Amino acid sequence: MVGQAIREMACNYPYTFIFVGSKDYDLTSEQDTRNMFVKYQPTYVIHLAAYVGGLYKNMTQLVQMLEKNVSMNLNVVKMCHEFKVKKVIACLSTCIFPDQTTYPINENMLHMGPPHESNAPYAYAKRLLDIQCAAYRSQYDSPFLCVIPTNLYGRHDQFDLQDAHVIPALIHQCYLAKQNNTDFKVKGTGKPLRQFVFAPDMAARLLWILEHVDPAVTPRLIIAPEEEVTIKDMVDEIVLSMNFDTKQQQVVWDSSFSDGQYKKTADGTLLQNKCQLPWTSLSDGIRQTVNWFLESVQSKELPRGVHM
């Protein structure tokens, strides 16, 4: 998703971009990862690869979340050092922050307590990526930095009903409810608060960081808008963009399912004070994402995770 957003704006930058996905190389294999670096000899690396999903995937695939992410991070960072990459931007996640903490969370609070138990294996794998980058900076002065985005969404996302993140999964569910003339059933109470980042906003900031940030001075950066919204507010935007007729069909909240962590407010001012790029509003971002989803379905080029 973020890689596709970078691809869409790549023509505005003086680099030759190479986009590599899981179909090209298995990054959990050290040999496959080395083969990739041998072939492309990258000058810079933006490391976005991850085995990732929503709350319920994190709660049911604990081993895969830990092992796959630890393996690919270990291999990618090791190869970046071996091939003398000039700058590496590695992507973490705010789910790695401590569960019991004070808010807002800043870049220095990453390891101050255990993460929320609902996604601990994934969170610890991402924490190890931060520790690995820090170790290379300390021992070899490696130009490796980590970015920590809040909840990402956008075009080209993964829309699987069980494994996707919250916005794409709910877009898919809302679409099916509308098509089948049934109620739109949402897990949880809708009360948790989140900061959502539209993928092109993330992409633009990654490229700004590539050109302007020295990892030796700023080893971590949170990418987060100031605005927090409830899951209910986000669902309302999906319903509006999908033209879901609430007079004929209802939005039903199933409180028997876990809400996960109630809030994890992240302080993005360190980056925002340096890089004053605008943020896409949630309503506009969801509208663009829903429109892309509908156009993809209608054209039979189904989004990932959608099976008709």
> d(Cα 91, Cα 210) in Å, to the nearest integer?
13
Question: DSSP character for 302?
Answer: P
Give the strand pairing for 193-194 and 229-230: antiparallel
- Which of the following is catalytic: 25, 56, 122, 153? 122
> d(Cα 158, Cα 235) in Å, to the nearest integer?
17
User: Which element (helix H / strand E) includes 239?
Assistant: helix 231-241
> Contact 197/228 with Cβ under 8 angstroms?
no
Q: How many CB atoms lie within 10 A of CB 124?
A: 17
122 is a catalytic site residue: yes
Q: What SS3 state is found at 178?
A: helix
Closest Cα partner for 169 from 52, 51, 53? 53
Longest dimension (CA), the chain: 63
> Contact 186/254 with Cβ under 8 angstroms?
yes
Alpha helices by DSSP H, listed for the chain, are 2-9, 30-40, 55-60, 62-82, 120-140, 166-180, 199-212, 231-241, 269-272, 282-298
User: Which element (helix H / strand E) includes 90?
Assistant: strand 87-91
Enumerate the active-site residues.
122
